[in-house]
Amino acid sequence: MLPPALPNPNLLSPFPLPPIEDIRPYLWSQRLLTSLSVNQTRGQLVHCPYYKPFSSLDNGAPSPPFLATADHYFEWRSIYTNQPLAVITFIVHPAYSQNVPQVDFYPHPYFKCENCIVSWWDFPTALPGEVIAWLQVQADLNVQEESFWLFSHALADFVDKFWKPVFPYDHKSPNLRPDRAPPLPLTPNHPSLTTPLVPFDK
């Protein structure tokens, strides 16, 4: 025998109860925007936070809906030449909706060093294993740079600060983190995009 169904709380109240809003998308945006407000550049570390608002240009002006996306660019520079020894960029955008961060490596197009790109819809809660292994290889290639190991610590410190709890919420709680990428906002239809195409031979 099935247990009795729970009563509808709206039937027990003279007033309809307001729906409980999901705060996770707001916390996602808040974490991202907070991370962009501080530049971590110091010593041999170069950090460039880039704010990339997601919106459309309708008749030359930004129009809603808006969505925050971001890049965090890091360099570790040589204490002897001031040239980058390694470069890593974290790209946070809902279009990268895979289950785990995507990590890619390739030679930097301008500097004589390796470049690492980590792309995901959220910032990783810890440095991916591929990044840790890559940093170790870079440290072995730059043994004359005694302080290169500090690059790993600087990146790990940034991850910790990114996920630092903000009152009154604990952002490390899995219940307060989205389990999937936020949906990409649909941009408004521009009149030129809704006009039927006319064949060239007409």
Structural tokens at position 87: 């470069």
Residue 141 to residues 115, 134, 137, 145, 169, Cα–Cα distance (Å): 14, 11, 6, 9, 42
Q: Which of 12-21, 41-50, 86-95, 149-158 has the lowest mean pLDDT?
A: 12-21
CA–CA–CA angle 38, 156, 30 (5° rounding): 40
Query: What residues does each domain of the chain span?
Result: 21-52+67-162
- Short-list 102, 94, 88, 46, CA closest to 70: 94
> 49 and 72 in contact (C-beta within 8 Å)?
yes
59 versus 44: the higher-pLDDT residue is 44
Strand ranges of the sheet holding 61-77, from the earlier edge strand across to the other edge: 45-58, 61-77, 84-92, 114-120, 102-107
pTM: 0.79
The pLDDT score that the predictor gives to residue 202 is 46
Q: Is the model more confident about 64 or about 159?
A: 159
